[in-house]
Amino acid sequence: MSDKIAFITGGNRGLGFQTALNLKGAAGVVIGARNLAQGNAAVEKLRQAGAEADVIEFDVTNPAHHRAAYDYFASRYGRLDILVNNAGIAAASFATPGPEHSAAQVPMEMLRRVFETNFFSTVALTTILLPLIRKSPAGRIVNLSSHLGSLTLHSDSKSGIYHAKSFAYDASKTALNAFTVHLAYDLRDTGIKVNSAHPGWVKTAMGGPAATMELSEGAKTTVALATLPHDGPSGGFFHLGKPLPW
C-alpha cells in the first residue's frame, strides 16, 4: 500500500466509506466492517475508484476484534499512521420522540449501549492501537464527534442546536470530546495529533434524507484532520477547518 496506512472503523458505508474514498492518494486504507461480505463489496468499489483498500472483520464493541486489528497492522505494516474512530450509533431516530432523548427518562440499558459503542469501545481500541501509532512518523487520530456533543452550544438558548437534544447520543459525544482533549495532552510531546471532527448534518442512515450535506462534503473535515501537516493543531474540535466550542 501507500506510505501511509489508515484504519477506519465502520468504513463499509456512509461517512466511513466516503472518508476511505477521499483518502485516495494520501493513504492506503483498511476499513473495519462488522459484516465481512459487505466490507468486501465496499473494498471492491474503493478499488474500482482507484483507492488502495483492504478490509478486516471488525465490531468496535468486540475486544477480540481490537486485538485482531492490532495483530493485523503489526504483522503487515509494523505501524499505523491514521486511526479514524468512525463507528458510532444513535439510540434511535433523532426525528422520533422517545425516552432516549430525555435526560430524565433515558433507560439505563440504552444509555450504556450507546456509550459502549461511541465512547468505551473507542477508548479501548485507541489504547490498544496506540503503540503502533507511536511508530508512525506522523500519527493522526480522528474521533468522529458531533456538534451535538458541545456543552457550550447546548447550554446557549440562542444556539441552533439548543432544542436538538438527544441525551444518550449527545452525552456520548461529549465524553468522546473529553477523550480527545486528554489524549492530545498525553501525546503533546510526540508527533501524534488527536482531534475531534464534526462532519455536519450529512445524508447518511443516521442523518436522514433531510440532512443538508452530501457525503462528499461531510467527509472533508475527517480527511483534513487525518492528513494534517506537522504544524497542524492537536486537541481541537473542528468542522470544515473552523474550531467549534466544547
Do residues 12 and 55 lie in contact, with contact meaning Cβ atoms separated by under 8 Å? yes
Catalytic residue among 72, 77, 169, 185: 169
Beta partners for residue 54, in sequence order? 30
Instruction: Please enumerate in sequence order all residues whose Cβ is within 8 A of that of 1, keeping only pairs 6 or more positions apart, or say none.
Output: 27, 28, 52, 54, 77
Inter-residue contact 173 to 118 (CB < 8 Å):
yes
Q: Is the distance from CB of 81 to CB of 70 less than 8 angstroms?
A: no
Would residue 77 show up in a list of annotated catalytic residues for this protein? Answer: no
Report CA Rg, the chain. 17
215's grid cell? 457525503
The amino acid sitting at 166 is: S
> Is residue 108 exposed (0-12), middle (13-18) or buried (19+ Cβ within 10 Å)?
exposed
Q: β-pairing, 242-243 with 237-239? A: antiparallel
C-alpha to C-alpha distance for 67 and 16, rounded to whole angstroms: 21
| Residues that are catalytic | 169
